[in-house]
Amino acid sequence: MATKITLIIDNPEDTAAFEEIYAKVKADAATLPKLQRLESAKVWPKEDGTATPAYRTLDLYFDSYEDASAAVTTPAAGAFFGALVGSQVPFKGLFSDIEN
């Protein structure tokens, strides 16, 4: 079954500095083996302008759970996870079974 890895990235203190790091994160993520599609999004602020509980999401789509699981053990995954960890911006990751 198709699988999606979703990374939910918290609000950084310095958004400009984080965006520089995030450009590398996306580029490294795009090289994951058997990646079918990458979707990056910036979360809208609340209507009053205050921050939401997340700043960005990154969705990585694979044909199967096995492909997604194997991809996160590769050097490419190490590079982009390393960059995220190095940014010191907390994030969460989810593996999801895509239901159409």
List, for residues 12-25, the tens digit of each pLDDT value.
999 999 999 999 99
All structural domains of the chain, each given as residue ranges with its CATH number in brackets, are 3-97 (3.30.70.100)
Q: In what order do the strands lie in the sheet with 35-42?
A: 35-42, 56-62, 3-9, 91-97
pTM listed for this prediction: 0.92
CA 44 to chain centre: 16
The band of 50, judged by pLDDT with boundaries at 50, 70 and 90, is confident
